[in-house]
Structure formats: C-alpha cells, structure tokens
Amino acid sequence: MAKVQIEYVCQNCGAKSPKELGRCPVCGQWGTYIEEKTERQMIAQKAPKIISSGARPLKLHEVEATPEIRIDLHNGELNRVLGGGLVPGSLVLIGGEPGIGKSTLALQILMKLGEIKTLYASGEESTKQIKLRAERLDGNPSNLFILSETSLEKILEYATELMPDIVVIDSIQTIGTETIDATIGSLSQVRECAAILLRFAKEKNIPFLIVGHINKEGSIAGPKVLEHIVDTVLQFEGDQHYMYRILRAQKNRFGSTSELGIYEMQHNGLREVTNPSELLLSQNHEGLSGMAIASAVEGVRPFLIEIQALVSSAAYGTPQRSSTGFDGRRLNMLLAVLEKRVGFKLLQKDVFLNIAGGLRVNDPAIDLAVLAAVLSSNMDIALDDGICLSGEVGLSGEIRPVARIDQRIAEAEKLGFKKIIIPAGQKVSFRPKQIEILPVKKVAEAFRHILKN
C-alpha cells in the first residue's frame, strides 16, 4: 500500500524537513517551507528502470561525428547566445524577473518563424491576451499554434498531435503534472514537470523554450534543480526603468557561455541591438564633470560605456557609497586604492556611481574609468571627451592587463575617440590609424594624462 507522507520542502533550495520551519537552516531564507505530500511506495514503483543502451566502448576516432543541426531562430542575438541556433531536442530555460520581457521574447521569436510549425503554450495568459500581445509584434506566422493550458499532460498531448518544430512553455511555474500531488509552482511540481519535459523533448526530438520566473535572490525559482535538468540556462536581465535588456547564457551544453545578446524594448517588441556602443552614443554631454568612458568587453564583444560618478560632502557622519550596475564592494576597494595610493581624501565624501543605460557590467577593465569618473567629479573637472580608458586596477594602484585589448582599441577608434589609456606592458598588435594609445603603469600616471588637457 502506498504510504502518504507529509513533508515540508523549502521552495528556495529544496531542503526537506519533517516539520514546518520558519527559517530554512540550509539557505537561510524565511517563510519558504511548504507542505508537500509524497507517496513513498508510488514513487518507488514509478522510478524508471535503468536500461542499458547496449553500447560498447569505442576509440575516439571510431566515433562518427555527424554535423550538428541547428534551427535558425531568425534572431541574431539569440542565435549567437545559443551557440549558432537552437539544437533539436534541447531544453532552453529563459529566466528573468517578472515584466522584463520573457513572454515578449518567446512569442516574438515564434512570430518571425514564418512557416515553421510552432506551439506557444501559456499557463499565464488566455489566448485572447496572447493574441493582443502578438498584434503588437511584427511577423506573420502561418503555423503558430496558441494554447492556454496549465496541465502538462494536455500540453504534451497536443504537442504529440501537432509535432511542432519548437514548443514554448510560458512559464514552468504555472503548469503542473497530474503525476504528483503538489500545488502548481511548488518545487516538486517544477522539478517533476522539467523532468517530464526533458524525457519528451529527447524522445520526440522537439526543442523546448521554457520560461522561468526568478525569485528574490535572482536565481530561477526551484533554482538549482532546474539548472541541472535543462541543457541551456539563459538569463534575461535589465533595469525595468531602462529599455535595454541583456540575455546571458549561464549554462550551455551546446555553446559557450561568454556570448551575450542585447535588446531594446520598444512599443512593438524587442529590437536587437547589434551595435552596443549606441547605448553610449545616444547622449551628448560635453563639459560635464563626473563622467568617463570605458572600453569594455562583455561576452566577446567590445563596447563603450559611460560611467557616471558623483562625489559630494557627506551630510551625516558615515559617508554613503552607492553603485548601480557595478559591484559595490569593488567600488569600495577602488576608493581605498584612490585614498591610499593616490592620496585622495574621500573619507568625508559620499560617492555615487552609475553605469549609464541600466547595464550591469562585470568586466574588471572598467576599473580605471570608474576611478577617472570619481576623480572628475571630486575635482569638478570635465574629462576630455575624446579620451577613453581600459584597465583593471590592482590593490597597489597598478594597472593590470586586460583581455582583448586589440578589440577594445579598435572599437574606441571606430567610434572616433582620439586617445585610449591602456595598461602598460600589454602586447598590442592593433595598428591604430588615428587613435593615440597611452600605456600607463599606475593610477596616478593615468590621472596625469587625463588632467593634462
């Protein structure tokens, strides 16, 4: 006889407990425990038997390599992030905060696919709502099926009937399977649904784009369990107040994770931003202090971004340090370097830092531009607008080499910059036509170049 057992599962990390806990001892979250029923025996019976594939060990050269098939999604940015298109039979998870544009992205892709047969299954919206959204997007699909359904079994039944080339599930937290007795959106449901989808996708060789919501911590709800199951995890991020969105690959079995796609949210959907430096070029602010331009690389693409800093006298005893789009701890470290190695007195100053366009940049090569912006604001001197910077700053104030320096210089030259400050001792094979390259060893040396004008 099946023995029904009640246990409490943390919806954040999946830890289990026989009684309800206020705070999860594993991940430290409050109020995340939810009651779930498990039928011990049933699960034991249902566990799939392990079946041998009958394969023998082969020498590497004996293994036949068939060329990979990829489905072209007619969306350059997404194709690139996926590593050259969508692999048939793969599961791709698109995670992001509510309202960032996941549904728009998924629907927009299907809209552009023309005659390719696709299925958009939504547990969140009615077919009418989806139709309204679709009307705002471009494209004229002749084979796009819309389904408003929360039962996974039903969705897969229709998928078997239609045999589409791509299926979108929007979202994994709003659909559920009948095989387990847990509320829709709970960790066990999400995990079970993903496992069923995986089996189905591989069996039928149909790729799935799965939308997933993100919880407070920025990980996909039902977090780690899903990441293990799917082939690719894409993170859709951006600041809701800005129009730019970034699509990053966090995990990719079929490509690199260093690629990234940039979009702009417009009234008729997401526009691909093929030239990221336009984020910067759209503005013009000659003569303003507290701004510096960095030649950054995100993924494998170089682009120029604007760093803004505001340094002012602290109104209260403890000075404020705040940054948007840049790691706060790194900002503190850079300010300490400025204080100790260059002799700036920032102890009594508030420092605010902002990366224009609502972008979050991880590239350490923007360090030097961050310091230049702080310097400029502190002295209230505008930097020469023909200069840009690239270099990581070390603890002793030394400028450390950065990756892809040639591309950074080339991008700066392309956009008409006259000078670029780079780390000394870095091998440059790029032959500049007009841009002047200024190698520097120390922060102080970089400041001397900046202040010369």
* Interface contacts to ligand TYD, rule CB under 6 A: 96, 98-104, 133, 136, 265, 267-269
Using the contact rule CB under 5 A, the part of the chain among 11-19, 95-103, 327-335, 435-443 near Mg ion is 95-103
173 touches Mg ion (CB under 5 A): no
**Closest by Cα among 446, 300, 302, 318 to 384:** 446
Neighbours of 252 (CB within 10 A): 20
Single-letter amino acid, residue 10: C
Region for 71 from its dihedrals, namely left if φ exceeds 0, alpha if ψ lies in -120 to 50, beta otherwise = beta
Distance CA 305, CA 292 (A): 8
Neighbours of 1 (CB within 10 A): 5
**Partner that binds at residue 207, options Mg ion, ligand TYD, none, CB closer than 5 to 8 Å by kind:** none
Distance CA 338, CA 341 (A): 6
User: In the sheet where 349-355 sits, what is the strand order?
Assistant: 321-324, 349-355, 301-313, 291-298, 387-389, 419-423, 436-440
How many residues of this chain interact with Mg ion, rule: CB under 5 A? 1
Among 11, 38, 90, 103, binds Mg ion (CB under 5 A): 103
Q: How far is the CB of 169 from ligand TYD (least distance, A)?
A: 12
Single-letter amino acid, residue 292: A
Read off the tokens for 12. 């954040």
**Closer Cβ to ligand TYD, 99 or 317, answer by number:** 99
What is the 8-class DSSP label of residue 338?
A: I
Cis? peptide before 219, omega within 30° of 0: no
Residue 409: burial class (beta carbons within 10 Å; 0-12, 13-18, 19+): buried
Q: How far is the CB of 175 from ligand TYD (least distance, A)?
A: 15
Q: How far is the CB of 265 from ligand TYD (least distance, A)?
A: 5
Read off the tokens for 2. 């099946």
Q: How far is the CB of 236 from Mg ion (least distance, A)?
A: 11
Residue 265 belongs to what H/E stretch?
strand 260-266
Distance CA 228, CA 152 (A): 20
Read off the tokens for 63. 């293994």
Beta 91-96 vs 118-122: how paired, if at all? unpaired
Using the contact rule CB under 5 A, the part of the chain among 103-111, 243-251, 267-275, 352-360 near Mg ion is 103-111
Cα-atom radius of gyration of the chain, to the nearest Å?
Answer: 26
Contact call for residues 106 and 172 (beta carbons, < 8 A) = no
**Partner that binds at residue 269, options ligand TYD, Mg ion, none, CB closer than 5 to 8 Å by kind:** ligand TYD
Using the contact rule CB under 5 A, the part of the chain among 69-77, 97-105, 361-369, 376-384 near Mg ion is 97-105
Read off the tokens for 294. 């960095």
Q: How far is the CB of 133 from Mg ion (least distance, A)?
A: 9
Read off the tokens for 120. 């958009």
Q: How far is the CB of 150 from ligand TYD (least distance, A)?
A: 16
What is the 8-class DSSP label of residue 214?
A: B
Q: How far is the CB of 136 from ligand TYD (least distance, A)?
A: 4
**Partner that binds at residue 404, options Mg ion, ligand TYD, none, CB closer than 5 to 8 Å by kind:** none
**Closer Cβ to ligand TYD, 213 or 301, answer by number:** 213
Distance CA 378, CA 430 (A): 34
**Partner that binds at residue 268, options ligand TYD, Mg ion, none, CB closer than 5 to 8 Å by kind:** ligand TYD
**Partner that binds at residue 100, options Mg ion, ligand TYD, none, CB closer than 5 to 8 Å by kind:** ligand TYD
**Partner that binds at residue 261, options ligand TYD, Mg ion, none, CB closer than 5 to 8 Å by kind:** none
**Closer Cβ to ligand TYD, 270 or 393, answer by number:** 270
**Closer Cβ to Mg ion, 239 or 406, answer by number:** 239
Three-class secondary structure of residue 277 per DSSP: coil
**Partner that binds at residue 418, options ligand TYD, Mg ion, none, CB closer than 5 to 8 Å by kind:** none
**Closer Cβ to ligand TYD, 104 or 289, answer by number:** 104
**Closer Cβ to ligand TYD, 104 or 378, answer by number:** 104
Q: How far is the CB of 365 from Mg ion (least distance, A)?
A: 35
**Partner that binds at residue 99, options Mg ion, ligand TYD, none, CB closer than 5 to 8 Å by kind:** ligand TYD
**Partner that binds at residue 160, options Mg ion, ligand TYD, none, CB closer than 5 to 8 Å by kind:** none
Q: How far is the CB of 144 from ligand TYD (least distance, A)?
A: 15
**Partner that binds at residue 205, options ligand TYD, Mg ion, none, CB closer than 5 to 8 Å by kind:** none
**Closer Cβ to ligand TYD, 210 or 412, answer by number:** 210
How far is CA 374 from each of CA 34, 244, 307, 370, rounded to the nearest angstrom? Answer: 47, 25, 9, 6
Q: How far is the CB of 267 from ligand TYD (least distance, A)?
A: 5
Residues at the contact surface with Mg ion, assessed by CB under 5 A? 103
